[in-house]
Amino acid sequence: DAGVIQSPRHEVTEMGQEVTLRCKPISGHNSLFWYRQTMMRGLELLIYFNNNVPIDDSGMPEDRFSAKMPNASFSTLKIQPSEPRDSAVYFCASSPSGESPYEQYFGPGTRLTVT
């Protein structure tokens, strides 16, 4: 299996621009998670989907952030408009089940820089 696939791996954009991050989860996994990693806060859960339905988006920082999962093999995280403080590494992870104790499998991440 190819694992969780994320694109792009790096994104540099100017403040105010729209940014779209993409994720393809592992086939057969019904749970998908978007995380943001920063030095100060570590890995923070942004949003969780189960069977393509958003279950918990309480971690989404502001209305500028939105996420979709139109089908079981694709999800997007969009930031519009982007701001310098959004600069971070964004990870997508999938799991065969949404319930612990299943481990989550992470993609390689997208490093976002907003200037």
Partner 1 sequence: DQQVKQNSPSLSVQEGRISILNCDYTNSMFDYFLWYKKYPAEGPTFLISISSIKDKNEDGRFTVFLNKSAKHLSLHIVPSQPGDSAVYFCAASETGTYKYIFGTGTRLKVLA
The rounded distance, in Å, linking the Cα atoms of 59 and 11 is: 22
Candidate residues 41, 62, 70, 71; the one interacting with partner 1 per rule CB under 8 A? 41
Residue with tokens 């993409």: 22
34 contacts partner 1 (rule: CB under 8 A):
no
- Please say which residue, 39 or 62, places its beta carbon nearer to partner 1: 39
30 contacts partner 1 (rule: CB under 8 A):
no
The rounded distance, in Å, linking the Cα atoms of 34 and 75 is: 9
Which residue ranges make up the site for partner 1 (CB under 8 A)?
A: 4, 9, 31, 33, 35, 39-45, 48, 50, 55-56, 91, 93, 98-101, 103-109
